[in-house]
Amino acid sequence: MSRCIVRQAARLLLVIFMAASAFAPAHAQEIYQHVKNTDIYDFVDELANVGVIDINSAIKPYSRKFIAQKLAEASGKREELNARQMKDLDFYLLDFNKELKPDKNFKKRLDLLYYKDTLFTFSFNPILGMSVYNNDSGSFYHRWNGAEAYAYVGEHFGFYASLRDNHESKRMSDPTYLNQNDASNYKVDTKGGGDFDEMRGGLTYTWKWGSLGLVKDHMVWGDNYHGSNILSGHQPSFTMLKLHLQPVRWFDFNYIHGWLVSDVVDSSRSYVNGQSLRKVYRQKYIAANMFTFTPWRKFQFSIGNSIIYSDQDVQPAYLVPFFFYKTVDHAQTSTGSNFLGQNSQLFFNISSRNLKNVHLYASVFVDEIALSRATDKDKHTNFYSLKAGLHLSNLGLDNLFFTAEYTRTNPLAYRHYIESATYASSSYNMGHYLGDNSEEGYVCIGYRPISKLKVEASYTLASKGYEYAYTGVSSDPIGNGLGKPFLNRVYWQMKSIELKAHYQIVNDAWIFAGLESSDCTGKSNELNTYTMPEYIGKLTTINVGANIGF
């Protein structure tokens, strides 16, 4: 049975590939710029905010080709840029002209290895970094090293790979920690630290109005400047089929089918091997799509849906990119039951840059909603997360930025009563980093006094309430999920004032420093569960470091 399903899936992918090939004129290849390179993403965002380019910022990562095209558009409108923006534009073109120029005869960034001819392009660079922290709880650090490479072959194929080995003297991430540090699957040491590595990359096939790829990477869906509430990219990277289509200017479509890590042991398939237990984990997948419409310039409306499904082989119906998956779930599952563990979601995103220098945005993640009970507080609290914000660029003073963002996540959003169907991978929530029954306010002022330098001052107030029991049984008054009040009591709270600066010395090489005054408080159990031990209480933390690549 499983081989039959795999064969069906392979045939479907072959059909998609052949259809793409049939309509594919010569077009540059595609590989993805990682979302952690926030400087280039911030600059592209700034160019959109000032009105010199148009983008769909709800879906990340961007491809290097997309970024290069937008930089080229901005280069044709230099009269609309200030002096610092023009210097930054020229700086980034040292790198992204590699996608624009037909040969190597241009002023280029420093690469460890770069080759280009009429058929083959190859780039190879090291990854190296160190970040040191010190506060009243002691000193700790994160160091990493590795390498990254990408290649283009012919007119359509792109390949990329990035390997990074990490060591933390104190574990800085955990599925229960409420922070936005790199999510990691650690090999823990006896001193409270740990090692982990991260392999990312993939291969893509690109044509004029779309691309198809098999990649292992991070993704961010939903406009935000301080953590998305749809797909945050916080969990370890996972493997996915990725489809992107843009046949006309006013329509953009994105789809993924991903292989998640359930962390749920399948006891029936686990076995003893010699003196040890061979643990076999339950299968878990995600299928998700996002339809983005641009009814007029600088305004986008996106709607999409996803499904987490588990305890079965790859379901061919979820390989169809354009479906509403909840309906498919109803057809695939026995009447009145949910034996296969499907968990569906719906989401929306609105982005407006119609006012020059102003970006207004909002996103809604709906995990479960019943309109008939939406106003009855005694029966139901709908499971959703709402984010809204504004970002101002160069408003009143060149190179000055302001961001204000609010996030509210109702009880039981992102969760599910079937353990293998939660909105998570490797036990890390894929939505907002605070999880359910939480609230966050964030404001930030940024300034770029010279090219490649950014200085920021921010304030964050994050609160989390009780995590209610959830069994999904309607007759269970405690665990049925109905009528759970939102944040009626704060069990954990974090207040943070942060000053930080970073400077990009050359392309993909930074030095950075930060000073944070934080206060993490709460009930004893929740405080210890949600907080890295070195951040409990009222502390001042100094952070300095440098890195090459990500």
What pLDDT band is residue 121 in, cutting at 50, 70 and 90? very high
The pLDDT of residue 338 is above 50:
no
What backbone torsions phi and psi does residue 239 show, to the nearest 5 degrees? -80, 140
Read off the pLDDT of each residue in 67-81 and give the average, rounded to a whole number.
Answer: 97
DSSP 254-271: EEEEEE-----B-TTT-E
Structure tokens at 531: 């907080």
The predicted model scores a pTM of: 0.92
Closest CA to 126 of 107, 105, 146, 97: 146
Confidence of residue 483 (pLDDT cuts 50, 70, 90): confident
User: Looking up tokens 């409990």, which residue turns up?
Assistant: 536
pLDDT digits (tens, 9 = 90+) for 235-252: 999 999 999 999 999 999
Tokens of 400: 């000055």
Q: Over 90: is that where the pLDDT of 8 sits?
A: no
Helix 64-75 vs helix 38-49: crossing angle, to nearest 10: 40
Which pairs from 67-76 meet CB under 8 Å and 24+ separation?
A: 67/33, 67/40, 67/92, 67/96, 67/99, 68/96, 68/97, 68/98, 68/99, 68/100, 69/100, 70/44, 71/44, 71/96, 72/100, 74/47
| Cα gap 238→218, rounded to integer Å | 7
Closest-CA residue to 97 (of 75, 112, 125, 80): 75
Give the chain's end-to-end CA distance (angstroms, integer): 42
| Residue 474: pLDDT over 80 | no
Q: Looking at residues 79-88, what average pLDDT do you find?
A: 97
* CA atoms within 13 Å, Cβ hemisphere of 398: 10
Tens-place pLDDT, residues 515-536: 999 999 999 999 999 999 999 9
Q: Above 90 in pLDDT, residue 306?
A: yes
Residues 6+ apart with CB under 8 A from 131: 141, 142, 143, 512, 543, 544, 545, 547
Tokens of 539: 């502390």
pLDDT surpassing 80 at residue 375: no
Omega of the bond leading into 61 within 30 degrees of 0 (cis): yes
Q: What is the pLDDT of residues 501-519, one digit of tens each?
A: 999 999 999 999 999 999 9
Q: What is the pLDDT of residues 395-433, one digit of tens each?
A: 778 999 999 999 999 999 999 999 999 999 999 999 999
For tokens 């209610």, the residue is 468
**In 226-385, which ranges are continuous DSSP H helix?**
325-332
Mean pLDDT calculated for residue range 331-360: 81
The β-bridge relationship of strands 157-168 and 138-153 is antiparallel
pLDDT digits (tens, 9 = 90+) for 12-59: 555 455 444 444 444 568 899 999 999 999 999 999 999 999 999 999
- 245 close to 259: Cβ distance less than 8 angstroms: no
Number of helices (H) and strands (E) in the chain: give both, helices first.
Answer: 6, 26
